[in-house]
Amino acid sequence: MRSNLKTAVGICGLVLGGLTVQAGITDGFTQYTANYTVQNWTTGCGGFSDLGGGEYETWVCAGESRVEMRWDNWPNQNIDNQFECDAMFDGNTQNTAIHQIKSNTGGEVIYLQVSSPGTLRNDNGAVFLTGMSGSWFHINSIFNPVTGDASAYINGSLKVIRNYPTTDRQWYFKNGCYNNGLPAGGKSTAWFKNIKSYVKSASGNTDLPGYYKILNRNSGLAVVVQYAATTNNAAVIQWAYGGSASNDEWGFARQSNGYYEVVNRNSGKAMVVKGASTSAGAAIIQYTFNTSGNDEWQPVDVGGGYFKFVNQKSGLVLGVPGNSTSQGTQLDQETDTGGNNQQFQIVSVP
């Protein structure tokens, strides 16, 4: 095993290496300088290269363990910490982890894997992206050991959300190539640049950072407050994203029960089930948040980078009625059928 000690100092800006970074994900975080040690547990084939300019290459071969950049334990283990980088892997990479949020005694809450060539998934879960090899992409991953809240984003799109309660306080970030079962003769190679570490600036805030567009899987349309209204009882509909108002953007404020207030950026009001109904087909509106349960939602990962929204009061899910693909259709709550009209992509916006 060979070890190198280096220091990474981040580069600020919204465009890094040709990639547009969704700044909202790092809003409310403070960047800090972190050191890494190269963990090269190989037998001569695998290796590590500092390419200069903050870019690094790692590779591992079949029969070897790993080559990874192991970053310092977080200086503050009792609040959200965030890892950010640009990454790329080649078309031969498979059965290899490229990024982890890890504790040696607490496990891996985020474990980004290339399973078959070109794919990405988390911790043996469902593949959420394909066709990823050979191109740079952006990673943000966040974990708070106290609340257990963890999330991961690829190119600004939320792909992983999970709760991982733990008393462990030895967490750190890793990136590189960790062999999870390369076939005979196989070799995985991954590159990384613009690596940064952050800690959340304000304690006690467990919201998802920034604002998001919420896109229906079936229609491709966004969840929107009709007419950019700022009044109670305005309908929540689907419509093409990108108007001049921010009525098609939402924040996620975590509640003590683990559910979220989904709050409209334009109006400041919450997405709720009208009349606190527990019946399928009840309409979705915006209303002043009051913790009555009908205004709290749990995003649940359904695979492929999509989520269903489960209402705390009714247990029903957010949906677009009739599998409609038409603009202006008001959303409702429905019995969970697993349909694409009940699944949504959550994408960070500046």
217-274 pLDDT, tens per residue? 999 999 999 999 999 999 999 999 997 889 999 999 988 888 999 999 999 999 999 9
Place of tokens 């800690």: 199
Identity of the amino acid at 337 = T
Place of tokens 């290269």: 49
Other Cβ atoms closer than 10 A to 186: 17
Domains and CATH numbers, the chain: 5-200 (2.60.120.200), 208-349 (2.80.10.50)
The answer to whether residues 153 and 146 touch, using CB atoms and an 8 Å cutoff, is: no
Pairing of strands 66-71, 172-179: antiparallel
Q: Which two tokens stand for residue 231?
A: 């009044």
Which has the closest alpha carbon to 327: 265, 266, 257, 238? Answer: 238
- In which residue ranges of the chain is pLDDT below 50? 1-22, 204
pLDDT value of residue 267? 96
d(CA 250, CA 268): 9
d(CA 317, CA 308): 7
d(CA 123, CA 125): 5
d(CA 277, CA 285): 12
Other Cβ atoms closer than 10 A to 288: 11
The answer to whether residues 349 and 333 touch, using CB atoms and an 8 Å cutoff, is: no
d(CA 117, CA 65): 19
pLDDT value of residue 203? 53
d(CA 297, CA 258): 9
Q: pTM of this prediction?
A: 0.79
Which has the closest alpha carbon to 166: 197, 152, 138, 145? Answer: 145
How many Cα atoms sit within 13 Å of 314 on the Cβ side?
27
Which residues of 228-296 form beta strands (DSSP E)? 236-239, 250-254, 260-264, 270-273, 284-287
The answer to whether residues 19 and 138 touch, using CB atoms and an 8 Å cutoff, is: yes
d(CA 129, CA 118): 8
Inter-residue long-range contacts of 49-57, CB under 8 Å, 24+ positions, other chains counted: 50/4, 50/6, 51/191, 53/193, 54/8, 54/11, 54/193, 54/194, 54/195, 55/191, 55/192, 55/193, 56/191, 56/192, 56/193, 56/195, 57/189, 57/190, 57/191
If DSSP codes are grouped into helix, strand and coil, which group holds residue 273?
Answer: strand
pLDDT value of residue 21? 39
